[in-house]
Amino acid sequence: MKVLVTGAKGMLGQDLCPILEDEGYEVIETDIDSLDITNIKNVEDVLKSNMPDFVIHCAAYTNVDKAEEDTENAEKINIQGTQNIAQVCKKLNITLVYISTDYVFDGTKTGKYLPSDKPNPQSIYGKTKLGGEKAVMQCEKYYITRTSWLYGHHGKNFVETMISLKDKDLKVVDDQIGCPTWTVELSNGIVKLIEEQAPYGIYHVCGSGYTSWYGFAKKIFELCNLKVNLSPCTTDEFPRPAKRPKNSIMENNKICRNWETALKEYIELRSE
Ligand SMILES: NC(=O)c1ccc[n+]([C@@H]2O[C@H](COP(=O)([O-])OP(=O)(O)OC[C@H]3O[C@@H](n4cnc5c(N)ncnc54)[C@H](OP(=O)(O)O)[C@@H]3O)[C@@H](O)[C@H]2O)c1
What pLDDT, in 10s, does the model give residues 185-196?
Answer: 999 999 999 999
Residue type, 171: K
Question: What Cα–Cα distance (Å) separates residue 73 from each residue in 1, 67, 124, 218?
Answer: 33, 8, 11, 35
Give residue 253's pLDDT: 86
48 pLDDT more than 80: yes
Nearest residue (by CA) to ligand 1, atom 29, is 32
Q: Give the C-alpha separation, 56 to 3, whole Å.
A: 7
Average pLDDT of span 204-222: 98
**Pairing between strand 230-233 and 26-29?**
unpaired
Ligand 1 centroid – CA 60 distance (Å): 4
Site to substitute for ligand 1 among 28, 29, 31, 61, most atoms within 8 A of C-beta = 31
Distance between CA 96 and CA 137 in Å, rounded? 10
Q: How far is CA 272 from CA 64, 265, 268, 269, in A?
A: 31, 11, 7, 5
Q: Between 40-50 and 82-92, two packed helices, what is the crossing angle to 10 degrees?
A: 40
pLDDT of residue 121: 98
Over residues 90-106, the mean pLDDT reads: 98
Is pLDDT above 80 for 271? no
**Residue 228 CA, ligand 1 centroid: distance in Å:** 31
CATH superfamily placement of domain 2-157+179-209+250-258: NAD(P)-binding Rossmann-like Domain (3.40.50.720)
152 three-state secondary structure: coil
Predicted pLDDT at 233: 97
Distance (Å, whole) CA 214 – CA 237: 13
Cα 9 to ligand 1 centre (Å): 9
65 residue type, one letter: D
Q: Using one digit for the tens of pLDDT, what is the confidence trace for 171-184?
A: 999 999 999 999 99
State residue 100's pLDDT score.
98
The preferred substitution site among 12, 40, 144 for testing ligand 1, maximizing ligand atoms within 8 Å of CB, is 12
Which protein residue has the closest C-alpha to ligand 1 atom 21?
10
Q: Are residues 171 and 237 in contact, defined by beta-carbon separation less than 8 angstroms?
A: yes
Q: Enumerate the β-bridge partners of residue 4.
A: 28, 55
Give CA–CA dist 40/17, Å, rounded.
24
pTM for this predicted structure: 0.97
Instruction: Domain ranges for the chain, please list them.
Output: 2-157+179-209+250-258
**Is the model's pLDDT at 272 over the cut of 80?**
no
State the pLDDT confidence band at 217, using cuts at 50, 70 and 90. Answer: very high
The mean per-residue pLDDT over the stretch 12-17 comes to: 98
Shortest CA distance to 205 belongs to which of 102, 116, 127? 102
